[in-house]
Structure 1
């Protein structure tokens, strides 16, 4: 859901974001990161998929609607809409998590403000609070940040030998980077070495059912409420598991590598 017909009404340009204003916000139910931020090490229910390239310092936004506020990490770029994680949109719109009382709806005018990255510190789940990036696939973004004097990412990044933002492929190990002497990280298992990851799941909240699903396979792990009533339901939700789930994960990862 993109709300493209409402783009002329946006108060912020699709390039660099202003400090604050009103935007028309739409729900987005599939985690991704155009700069390789690893979903298994951040809160994927609090992500902003907004226009404009990802900044090396301005990565945290506050979004408010009807007295409710959430903070979001900007780690992916949309084609033009102001999408946010479905759970964040649902909480702002209804006051309830999407897994409890899922709602369906379109673009909604909300107030935003760019805030200091420290406000989003609890959304980053690494032990040292540094931004988790894919060692095989984040180097272009990281290099641009390292070249910017005093950028937040340049001083607060950690590289993992994980190939895709959904954390389905690679090795869950930290890598080192001897910058600027080297422009490729060193990893114990060899950078980019394939390996199926099973202990680093990333979950999506499916729109508009509120089902919690494995992002890599689509397998339902918990059902949400009825979109109309908010009542819990366990009917009609099949799971994609076993070998088919693994195939989906591998194909998705290979697709990411060739972007």
Structure 2
């Protein structure tokens, strides 16, 4: 038997004050050692987010793979129109940036607060050894404030932040970059960024959430099932004894 594997990914979830949620849904992959099964939409349209106004143009990607060799991979996030994410044969993320993506995070007085980037996504890989790794990629990402058509950059976000990097704009929002957590050896969940708004109708935004593993090493199957070993051994012994008796009778007949 080959090793089993699994992964999942979700591009975007928006939570509103009062409990409303807009979500891209999720995609998942699993492999029993011989066959890969994938469920969910890996490239959902923006229409699945309903009538929200946080993102009105762009691409949602949540690609997942589970291979026959006990490895798995996931890449999920948001890109501008024309962009794409896919997974290569070795489990690597292949990203083609499109136009700039713009997420409206709300207002602060007269200012409109936005998150702008070329690409925002998380990725992970897991093996049955067991091991798991993950990263967040925030390409040309920044938080901006616009008043009367004049845009000011409030905060530039690192392209590849260290795990669980926390940033904030006091009185406006809190940000957690490359959030990573694990429930077991060889399992890892990664989010590209989690934004908590401190005012307005928007409660939080989670971009690019992926999980890889835990993948399992399939135990070898014994040639004789253990439960039937005593019976099988008895059969073998009887067969061997019968063979010896037959051999002796033939020899006696020839000597006689």
- Scaled to the shorter chain, the TM-score interval is under 0.3
User: TM-score scaled by structure 2?
Assistant: 0.21
* Structure with larger Rg: 2
User: TM-score scaled by structure 1?
Assistant: 0.21
- Greater strand content: 2
- Greater helix content: 1
